[in-house]
């Protein structure tokens, strides 16, 4: 697998954000993690999304959990929701690789209660530090740092519909639409719901944005029988920003 990753474009020293789905591949998440770290080497950094969208009052994950409850049942359910704990709270819907990376001893994780990232490698702690509550996926998030530092994305058996890098473009649109968010966080006085404002994130057109990403900017290959796509985060963000500016109204 390490040889195939090299042929797919993964190089020593990269800061690599990986989105992976191992369903149907027969691959073990631990084996993919180890192969990636082996190719990236001691100067490289492996990053994965470790999102927790269920820690919300409005996300699809949370609304699915409270579907069918009456108002009182919803109130009791929300009163019992645990606060986000970077060391313990599992990610939700991010796949087996993300959970294996997050739970590997020595992994770093950013502190955002809804859109954290986990990382292993030389720059893991620095990339995951200082992730502001009011910046899900903007410049002051691990994604923003990865973009400014020329990071790469590897899509492993997934398509552009899950390409988190496109979200950074939403922060760069002039006067992006904003919305209110709410989540449970641990404060000195105990677990509390906190409301805050941030960019209104929308991945509904990401598949279309990816379909128009120039083929010359994407390196495609197969690793362990799975289709992969490798590309630059700055290139992806620039493309998504141009596309959104032209097509979103």
Note the pLDDT tens digit of each residue in 52-65: 999 998 888 898 88
Note the pLDDT tens digit of each residue in 8-54: 999 999 999 999 999 999 999 999 999 999 999 999 999 999 999 99
Q: Smallest Cα–Cα separation from 164: which of 143, 134, 140? A: 143
Q: What is the pTM of this model?
A: 0.94
Q: Smallest Cα–Cα separation from 116: which of 96, 136, 144? A: 136
Instruction: Measure Cα distances from 247 to 119, 219, 243 in Å.
Output: 34, 26, 6
Would you say how long the chain is, in residues? 249
Task: For the chain, report the end-to-end CA distance as a whole number of angstroms.
Answer: 43
Per-position DSSP letters for 140-162, written without gaps between them: TSHHHHHHHTT-EEEEES--GGG
Note the pLDDT tens digit of each residue in 29-39: 999 999 999 99
Helices and strands counted in the chain (H then E): 10, 9
Region 92-113: mean pLDDT is: 97
Q: Which has the minimum average pLDDT: 141-150, 182-191, 199-208?
A: 182-191
The percent of residues in the chain predicted with pLDDT above 70, rounded, is 100
């Amino acid at each position: 697998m390490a040889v195939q990753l090299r042929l797919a474009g993964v190089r020593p020293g990269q800061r690599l954000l990986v989105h992976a789905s191992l369903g149907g591949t027969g691959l073990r998440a631990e084996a993919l993690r180890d192969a990636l770290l082996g190719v990236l080497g001691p100067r490289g950094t492996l990053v994965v999304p470790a999102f927790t969208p269920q820690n919300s009052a409005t996300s699809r994950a949370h609304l699915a959990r409270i579907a069918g409850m009456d108002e009182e049942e919803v109130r009791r359910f929300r009163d019992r929701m645990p606060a986000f704990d970077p060391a313990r709270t599992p990610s939700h819907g991010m796949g087996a690789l993300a959970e294996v990376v997050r739970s590997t001893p020595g992994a770093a994780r950013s502190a955002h209660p809804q859109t954290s990232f986990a990382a292993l490698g030389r720059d893991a702690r620095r990339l995951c530090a200082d992730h502001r509550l009011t910046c899900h996926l903007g410049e002051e998030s691990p994604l923003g740092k990865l973009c400014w530092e020329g990071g790469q994305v590897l899509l492993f058996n997934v398509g552009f519909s899950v390409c988190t890098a496109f979200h950074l473009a939403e922060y760069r649109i002039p006067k992006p639409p904003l919305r209110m968010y709410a989540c449970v966080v641990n404060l000195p006085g105990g677990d509390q719901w906190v409301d805050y404002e941030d960019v209104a994130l929308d991945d509904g057109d990401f598949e279309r944005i990816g379909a128009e990403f120039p083929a010359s900017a994407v390196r495609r290959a197969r690793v362990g029988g799975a289709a992969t796509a490798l590309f630059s985060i700055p290139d992806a963000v620039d493309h998504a920003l141009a596309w959104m500016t032209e097509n979103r109204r």
